[in-house]
Amino acid sequence: MNLADVRAAARGLDGIAHRPPVMTSRTLGAGVFLKCESFQRTGAFKFRGAYNFLSSLGEEERARGVCAISSGNHAQAVALSARELGIRAAILMPEDAPPAKLAAVDGYGAEIETYDRYSMPQVQAGREFAERRQMTFVPAYDDPRIAAGAGTAALELLEDAGELDLLLAPVGGGGLMAGCATVIKALHPSARVIGVEASGVVKRSLEAGERIQIPVPRHIADGQMLTQPGEWTFEVMRELVDDVVLCTDDEILAAMAFLFDRLKLVTEPSGAIATAALLAGHVRPEGARVGVLVSGGNVGLERFLDLMRR
């Protein structure tokens, strides 16, 4: 995957995906620009990659229908993309997925099955689901087409905000990070790219020089509950990502509250985590021009209120 692939994905998404705004805050600093993917279709950046992937499928692959495994954002993205393209979809979701995300997937017309994420690794559960259904599997992150679609968010950010010295983005399986890092490093090679996570699995893997696996993490960022980085995305991150920092649940909650109070943005925990790294001082811009990806806002009212009461 390269910049040309991301530009091609952008052309395919033109007029289909939203172009969310870039916002600023005096408190964060004049040189900080937030790309608000919480305003994307399905409420998260995931629509970009899912639509790019599904639109690339041949007739036979489409005829089989598509399936995916996800706690919510990828599930919604696949379900809506399939509906838009007239493809049948089935999604395997964790039993404890946020109710708002389950309801959204159902509303987009996909069939839902659930599983216990703590008794079976996600990769294994997804593989078995696809084999049983005999449908075309749509990976959540570990595919160049998914990453190219996700990278269009960084492309728009640069077009709207101008040159950046630093990009902060959530990192889980690595699709968003692989796509965005490809764009940033191609257009501004001296810029730094820093991932932000809650579990530490990506940071530890990069430090070890190989993918490590951990038990299912228990933190509030349900969009980042991965046990291992993607195989293909890990190699991209090894080459292009400068650092990964960690945020605690309390720091994430503080960022969610800040984004709500100051910018009137409703964000889910994983969507606010890059902002959390900035607010908590894990990254110090010191006059640099910084892009921050607010990756999603899929949190129902009840869960948002429950989190804010912690």
Residues tagged active-site: 46, 295
The radius of gyration of the chain from alpha carbons, rounded to an integer in Å, stands at: 18
What is d(CA 227, CA 166) in angstroms, rounded to the nearest whole number? 27
One-letter identity of residue 306:
D
For residue 204 the two structure tokens come to 């530890």
299 SS3 class: coil
Q: Is there a contact between 292 and 168 (Cβ–Cβ < 8 Å)? A: yes
d(C-alpha 39, C-alpha 43), whole Å: 6
Q: What is the DSSP letter of 78?
A: H
Find, among 43, 270, 294, 53, the residue nearest to 157 by Cα.
Answer: 294
User: How many angstroms separate the most distant Cα atoms in the chain?
Assistant: 53
